[in-house]
Structure 1
Amino acid sequence: MVESLKKEIAACTLCMPHLAHGVRPVVQLSQKAKIAIAGQAPGRVVHETGLPFNDKSGDRLREWLGVTRDQFYDPDLFAIVPMGFCYPGTGKSGDLPPRPECRATWHDRIFEEMDQLELIVVIGAYAIDYHLGKRAYKTLTETVKNWQDFQPRHMVLPHPSPRNNIWLRRNPWYEQSIVPALQRRVDCLLS
């Protein structure tokens, strides 16, 4: 069933009227993956290459996870399911929000089909809203700081974008304590 979902998603054009750069759904799915990366939406570079997290954000995310590029792009190890599958374009302060059509059309179906997942790495406000809902704290910082409240199924991360360097400097506890916990969990699931 995941294979047919991948084909449907690859052919999706629901958002075409709203996407200045056209549709190019970018997801990575497998019935074997134990870990899913649930982010926001592809950026410009990812839209151009068709490879999820193929940018500086992806480099930092792989570092946080403690995995190689080959591991990260192995669909049998990692599913990658952003809240929006296509690049939404750029706004005044960065990329536009993910289009809501993906969430409404695909996400429940994907996560029902991929019941083998043991860990969902939740990145950013839109993914937090979908995966944690009312269980999330008022702010991203509080939600990330209280990551253990969402275990064992979810791990909440700030966005790995270089735009978040200020947040990372203000919150050194994240890389000191949460990143090692994330790496241990990922290593355990991949072993």
Structure 2
Amino acid sequence: MSELISLLEEVRACRLCEPHLPLGPRPVVRAAESARLLIIGQAPGTRVHETGIPWNDPSGDRLRDWLQMDRDTFYDESRIAIIPMGLCYPGRGRGGDLPPRPECAPAWHGRLLAQLPALRLTLLVGQYAQKSYLPAPGKTLSDNVRQFATALPHGYFPLPHPSPRNRLWLRQRPWFEQRVLPALREQLKDVFAGR
């Protein structure tokens, strides 16, 4: 058994945050040593918790549209790893889902990333991933996304969360579809072409 497979079994058995999780633990993570793209999002929602399939919701539909990927390509873990900041559904607050549990990423991310030697690009989806991974995050998520080119030399590409709740953000920032998405798609071509 490979070290990564053994580690994934350990991750999926994690109970670190159990007392704080309203639906109980169900870590949702996908990875293979050959993955060239990593997607770091926020935390699973209730539908992802129920199915155990990451981005299996309207946010995932929009993300796949941004990436111009069908479901089969998106879920091919030999090519794409998916490791959210919080691996389990954190519960609901007044304005939507709660933030990812703070224990999760420090406990697992370093160990998981060490087992992904083929990574070429990491998508940082949402503010929690960007605050954690960008070497010099901007003051706002909009700053991070607008200045995506400054993150590329570090192997990162910041994106807003594709939640349907972010329709207003997208409508107010036409530059996202005009400049950021075309650049993202070019980066993905390079990643999967091996350049």
Q: 1:185 aligns with which of 168, 180, 187?
A: 187
Structure 1 position 159, deviation (Å): 0.2
Give the conservation status (yes or no) of the 8 Å contact 2:123–2:157: yes
Other-structure match for 1:150: 151
* Partner-residue secondary structure (3-state), 1:151: helix
Q: What's the TM-score once normalised by structure 2's chain length?
A: 0.95
Structure 1 position 175, deviation (Å): 0.8
**Percentage identity across paired residues of the two chains:** 49
Q: 1:104 aligns with which of 89, 103, 106?
A: 106
Mapped partners of 2:117, 2:139: distance in 1: 28
Give the counterpart letter for 2:121 in structure 1: L
* Partner-residue secondary structure (3-state), 2:181: helix
Structure 1 position 168, deviation (Å): 0.2
* Partner-residue secondary structure (3-state), 1:25: coil
Other-structure match for 2:22: 20
Mapped partners of 1:56, 1:188: distance in 2: 27
Structure 1 segments of 4+ aligned residues over 2 angstroms from their partners: none
* Partner-residue secondary structure (3-state), 2:38: strand
Q: 2:45 aligns with which of 35, 38, 43?
A: 43
1:98-147, Cα deviation, whole Å (9 max, x unpaired)? 011111210111112213211000011110122115x1111100110000
CA RMSD of aligned residues (A): 0.9
Q: 2:170 aligns with which of 168, 173, 177?
A: 168
1:131 matches 2:133: yes
Q: 1:65 aligns with which of 64, 67, 83?
A: 67
Other-structure match for 1:7: 9
1:142-191, Cα deviation, whole Å (9 max, x unpaired)? 11000000114010000000000000000010011111111111122223
Give the counterpart letter for 2:126 in structure 1: G
Structure 1 position 20, deviation (Å): 1.0
Structure 1 position 65, deviation (Å): 0.9
Mapped partners of 2:189, 2:65: distance in 1: 13
Mapped partners of 1:144, 1:171: distance in 2: 10
**Any unmatched runs of 5+ in structure 2?**
none
**Any unmatched runs of 5+ in structure 1?**
none
Give the counterpart letter for 1:188 in structure 2: D
Give the conservation status (yes or no) of the 8 Å contact 2:46–2:89: yes
Give the counterpart letter for 1:177 in structure 2: R
* Partner-residue secondary structure (3-state), 2:124: strand
Give the counterpart letter for 1:51 in structure 2: I
Mapped partners of 1:123, 1:144: distance in 2: 10
Number of residue pairs aligned between Structure 1 and Structure 2: 190
Structure 1 position 57, deviation (Å): 0.4
